[in-house]
């Protein structure tokens, strides 16, 4: 079990959480939620022991398995070594022992130290570490042939399995996972859900994927109102319970306010008269009825609304005999279809299947932003963009499309020079750039802020055809929900690459699926697509 007692953390005047006491029991799977900046990663560092609380105490098991946000931290390491590094004490002893053995001449002190290191290796089962790590990797679907490769050679789903093996190495009693679904395709996310649902220890996971949280979590620990409140159930259960509790407290406070106002009126009218005892009685009742102190929620909800200046033609995109290949590696070939105005197309497939390549290749033919990239413009087939098509593009590496050396407001203003400063501030405000935050330098923007600024641009330009490549990366749950709703309400056409299952399920009415060089075009919802593929 993991427990925290009277823990507080603040940065300057900003309170993340104050005097928090809660427990995370074995056998339960906790989702740690809250908007960007609420303190989720900070709390996870406190639990892991990476940081110390400014106040209070944290009690945790001796062995913790931790997966951080950075899935690229071990790219220069072998897969098998990455797993063994999960036991930090053992890995440090092995590394120091190797340095000493590499010495041409060992001093007496070196010999003594080697003895100490061999003791540590024995205590930590280091002599069977390679075989233990190999067995763990095999159980997680990483075959022997991959285990000596560098981590940089692995795909995103394979990396997460290796990092899970690292976290599990040494049989930890608790797992701490910070955004484990980042860079995973849907198949890998489903595998991870199944794995975690069978885990018997204590699990704490940070995720901005609502479907993942609903599928895995038995409880939600929500950081809000300067505290952490635990709710039973998944994310949707938490939202419902939180809304009901908040509404009940606010309704009760409204009734109290009315009663207090009546009592105040009585006291003012009769305080100087002969009803002194009754006045004192009313004053005591007023003190008793003081409203519950409601800390302000730190949840901020952006308002995303994609509009069009004018509609496109009925067929905004036509594709004939389309294909792409790198040398002998065929990404897809012979694909053809017509896209009708208003369709919402989700592009699915494993990482490396060619989803981003497809989007860039489509945009390199005709009116897109990649016309001058010959490596993308080559290949078979024709792409015809229809009448009056205006494309709005959200790139996977969207931060690269934001010029540095400008303020967020100035960068946005260049896409509609006719817009007034008030209009620019209004659009920025909708996307949570309040007040002077619109003057923030573009190079200082976080990943989430950069994504929200791109949405500002799309709302300002009002294109009728949206092409989006992983737009939910770096967004918190509130922003993802706002994006989901905006895409559903958008009257134009959308081609969308995303690994957010709820976004696909709620918004898509057509599926393009890439797998092994094959291209499937399915006209229907994601649920219907799943039903068809499950029986195929």
Give the 3-state secondary structure of 197-216.
HCCCCEEEEECCCHHHHHHH
Q: Which residue has the higher pLDDT, 292 or 229?
A: 229
Query: Is 78 among the domain residues?
Result: no
The residues near 287 (Cβ < 8 Å, ≥ 6 apart) are: none
| Helices 477-489, 447-461: inter-axial angle, 10-degree rounding | 20
Place of tokens 């592009």: 347
Which strands, in side-by-side order, build the sheet including 391-394?
391-394, 465-469, 493-497, 344-349, 510-515, 518-523
498 with 449, same domain: the answer is yes
Query: Is 250 among the domain residues?
Result: yes
Residue 181 in this model has a pLDDT that exceeds 60: yes
Query: Is 187 among the domain residues?
Result: no
How many domains, in total, are found in the chain?
Answer: 2
Q: How many Cα atoms are found within 13 Å in the side-chain-facing hemisphere of 351?
A: 19
441 with 332, same domain: the answer is yes
| Rama region for 529: left / alpha / beta (φ>0; ψ in -120 to 50; rest) | alpha
Express each pLDDT in 232-274 by its tens digit. Answer: 999 999 988 888 877 777 777 778 778 888 888 888 777 766 6
Q: Which pTM does this prediction carry?
A: 0.77
Torsion angles phi and psi, residue 116, rounded to 5? -65, -40
284 with 411, same domain: the answer is no
pLDDT at 351: 80
CA 504 to centroid of chain Cα atoms:
16
Note whether 313 and 387 are within 8 A (CB).
yes
Query: Is 293 among the domain residues?
Result: no
Q: Residue 16 to residues 38, 44, 134, 423, 459: CA-CA distances in angstroms? A: 6, 13, 41, 33, 32
346 with 279, same domain: the answer is no
Express each pLDDT in 348-366 by its tens digit. Answer: 998 878 898 889 888 886 5
Reported as a pLDDT band with limits 50, 70 and 90, residue 396 is confident
Reported as a pLDDT band with limits 50, 70 and 90, residue 291 is low
Torsion angles phi and psi, residue 214, rounded to 5? -65, -30
pLDDT at 497: 95
Query: Is 173 among the domain residues?
Result: no
385 with 470, same domain: the answer is yes
Q: Is 337 helix (H, G, I), strand (E, B) or coil?
A: strand
Provide mean pLDDT across the span 410-418: 92
255 with 321, same domain: the answer is no
Query: Is 418 among the domain residues?
Result: yes
Residue among 9, 29, 27 nearest 18 (CA): 9
Residue among 410, 394, 420, 415 nearest 461 (CA): 415
Query: Is 473 among the domain residues?
Result: yes
400 with 275, same domain: the answer is no
Note whether 55 and 7 are within 8 A (CB).
yes
Note whether 260 and 286 are within 8 A (CB).
yes
Count of CB atoms within 10 A of residue 73's CB? 12
Query: Is 214 among the domain residues?
Result: no
Domain edge (last residue) among 247, 270, 288: 288
Show the domain range for 258: 239-288
């Amino acid at each position: 079990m993991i427990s925290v007692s009277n823990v507080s953390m603040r940065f300057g005047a900003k309170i993340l959480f104050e005097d928090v006491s809660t427990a995370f029991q074995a056998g339960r799977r906790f989702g740690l939620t809250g908007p960007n900046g609420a303190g989720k990663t900070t709390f996870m560092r406190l639990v892991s022991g990476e940081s110390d609380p400014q106040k209070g105490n944290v009690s945790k098991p001796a062995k913790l398995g931790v997966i951080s946000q950075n899935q690229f931290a071990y790219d220069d390491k072998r897969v098998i070594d990455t797993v063994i590094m999960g036991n930090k004490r053992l890995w440090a002893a092995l590394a120091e022992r190797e340095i000493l053995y590499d010495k041409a001449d060992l001093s007496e002190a070196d010999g003594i130290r080697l003895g100490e290191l061999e003791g540590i290796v024995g205590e930590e089962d280091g002599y069977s570490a390679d075989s233990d790590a190999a067995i763990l990797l095999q159980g997680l679907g990483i075959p022997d042939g991959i285990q000596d490769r560098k981590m940089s050679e692995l795909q995103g789903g394979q990396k997460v399995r290796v990092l899970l093996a690292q976290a599990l190495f040494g049989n930890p009693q608790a797992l701490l996972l910070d955004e484990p679904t980042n860079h995973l395709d849907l198949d890998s996310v489903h595998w991870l859900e199944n794995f975690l649902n069978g885990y018997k220890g204590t699990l704490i996971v940070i995720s901005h994927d609502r479907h993942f949280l609903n599928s895995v979590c038995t409880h939600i620990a929500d950081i809000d109102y300067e505290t952490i409140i635990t709710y039973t159930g998944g994310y949707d259960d938490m939202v419902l319970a939180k809304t009901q509790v908040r509404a009940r407290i606010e309704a009760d406070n409204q009734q109290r306010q009315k009663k207090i106002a009546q009592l105040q009126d009585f006291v003012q009218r009769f305080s100087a008269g002969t009803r002194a005892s009754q006045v004192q009685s009313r004053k005591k009742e007023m003190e008793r009825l003081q409203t519950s102190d409601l800390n302000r929620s730190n949840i901020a909800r952006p308002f995303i609304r994609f509009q069009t200046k004018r509609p496109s033609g009925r067929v905004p995109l036509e594709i004939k005999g389309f294909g792409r290949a790198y040398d002998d590696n065929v990404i897809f070939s012979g694909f053809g279809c017509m896209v009708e105005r208003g369709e919402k197309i989700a592009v699915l497939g494993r990482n490396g299947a060619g989803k981003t390549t497809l989007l860039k290749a489509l945009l390199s033919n005709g009116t897109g932003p990649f016309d001058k990239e010959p490596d993308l413009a080559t290949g078979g087939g024709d792409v015809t963009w229809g009448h009056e098509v205006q494309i709005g593009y959200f790139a996977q590496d969207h931060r690269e499309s934001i010029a540095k050396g400008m303020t967020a407001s100035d960068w946005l203003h260049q896409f509609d020079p006719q817009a007034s400063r008030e209009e620019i501030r209004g659009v920025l405000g909708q996307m949570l750039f309040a007040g002077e935050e619109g003057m923030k330098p573009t190079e200082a923007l976080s990943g989430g802020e950069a994504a929200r600024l791109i949405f500002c641009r799309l709302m300002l330009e009002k294109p009728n055809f949206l092409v989006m490549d992983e737009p939910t990366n770096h967004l918190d749950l509130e922003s993802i929900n706002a994006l989901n709703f905006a895409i559903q309400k958008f009257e134009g056409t959308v081609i969308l690459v995303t690994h957010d299952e709820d976004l696909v399920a709620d918004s898509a009415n057509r599926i393009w699926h890439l797998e092994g060089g094959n291209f499937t075009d399915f006209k229907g919802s994601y649920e219907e697509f799943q039903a068809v593929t499950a029986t195929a």
